[in-house]
Structure 1
């Protein structure tokens, strides 16, 4: 987004050479923020100096409400302090206008690669969490005991049930998690963010 019509038009023309991307342009930070619900994940080219909500203001609001964008900050008045502030707020990179077109395209490509990697991590976490949520409370207790490195006997003692019952719960949780080894089960538990209380 940029409040300068000629810069915005030039960027849209340049980016139109990229295959399979939808390009949206906005005249202000406020216009973009009003449209975020209608815009899919992607790379945001953001001018810092705009009327209304500034580029820094947009970054601050995105940091609180939306992680779907990798942001490349563009400014004609770049300085180290502003660059550091933008990066602390989550900007992927900081380029001064006018910037080299090849460098801009390379930076956009890297931003999309990072976004894809982040999406894969989020998807893996969601899948792992869904599997963990399929466990009963007792199966989850057993899994936490296993995460702590305890034997079936120790877990049984801690939970006040027999080692044979622990074996049954352990078999059920392995089946629900669709794994064949304890290391796979632990991998799912950690990916889901399940930790013991210790």
Structure 2
């Protein structure tokens, strides 16, 4: 079980459920924080944690699916495991489509819960690494001028310098200078690498 530096955040309005889940996970050496509702969790929430969220669906105030939507707006990268006694197929489909890694029903066995948490930890590592790549890519592109950005977006679609010059109404030599500056500022080793950096930054490179 991967557990070092990972935290499981349990959000459930039933004290007995919170306590039993917390005890089970702590016995595996996993750090746990519990919350009685979505509001208290949001007040304590900080982006960037390694771990996952075990979330009940039906709670007073903000429900589990509503909390999931809010966390998407916060660009949350912690995987969410839904654990509920009131689930149905449409609800589970909605949760999974919105990015939940699992949708489990109460009561849950120790083996099944630990397997789901393990999968969530592995996914958390992947998401954190991907986020680091995205931030790195964004910082590289931030130094580009508006014109350099325009040249880059056309170049990574496969257009040659002469075509770029024609589309932007600038000289062939100016395009060469811009492309040289782009490669230097981004640290890209070739056009394919530049396209990767643009993609990892979240830019729509298909247009």
Q: Shorter-chain TM-score: which interval?
A: 0.7 to 0.9
- Structure 2 residue matching 1:95: 3-state secondary structure: strand
Structure 1 pair 184/15, CA: closer, same or farther in 2 (3 Å)?
same
Residue 13 of structure 1: aligned partner: 23
**Size of the alignment, in residue pairs?**
197
State the TM-score, normalizing by the size of structure 2.
0.80
State the structure with more CA Rg.
1
Structure 1 pair 163/92, CA: closer, same or farther in 2 (3 Å)?
same
Residue 12 of structure 2: aligned partner: 2
- In the TM superposition, what whole-angstrom CA distance separates every residue of 1:125-180 from its partner, at most 9, and x where no partner exists? 22112111212223223222312322222223333433233222222211111122
After the TM superposition, which parts of structure 1 deviate over 4 Å for at least 4 consecutive aligned residues? 195-198
Within a 5 Å distance, the mapping from 1:97-108 to structure 2 comes to 97-108=106-117
Q: What runs of 5+ residues in structure 2 fail to find an aligned partner?
A: 1-10
Residue 174 of structure 2: aligned partner: 165
Structure 1 pair 106/195, CA: closer, same or farther in 2 (3 Å)?
closer
Deviation at 1:48, TM superposition (A): 2.4
Residue 184 of structure 2: aligned partner: 175
Q: Give the alignment partner of residue 124 of structure 2, picking from 99, 105, 115.
A: 115
Deviation at 1:188, TM superposition (A): 1.4
What is the Cα-based RMSD across aligned positions, in Å? 2.6
Structure 1 pair 33/137, CA: closer, same or farther in 2 (3 Å)?
closer
* 1:63 counterpart = 2:72: yes
Q: Is the CA contact 2:165–2:175 (under 8 Å) kept in the aligned structure 1?
A: yes
- Structure 1 residue matching 2:53: 3-state secondary structure: strand
Whole-angstrom CA distance in 2 between matches of 1:163 and 1:70: 48
Within a 5 Å distance, the mapping from 1:148-159 to structure 2 comes to 148-159=157-168
Q: Is the CA contact 1:144–1:195 (under 8 Å) kept in the aligned structure 2?
A: no
Within a 5 Å distance, the mapping from 1:3-152 to structure 2 comes to 3-19=13-29, 21-37=30-46, 40-152=49-161
Q: What runs of 5+ residues in structure 1 fail to find an aligned partner?
A: none
Deviation at 1:196, TM superposition (A): 6.5
- Structure 1 residue matching 2:68: 3-state secondary structure: helix
- Structure 2 residue matching 1:94: 3-state secondary structure: strand
Whole-angstrom CA distance in 1 between matches of 2:41 and 2:116: 21
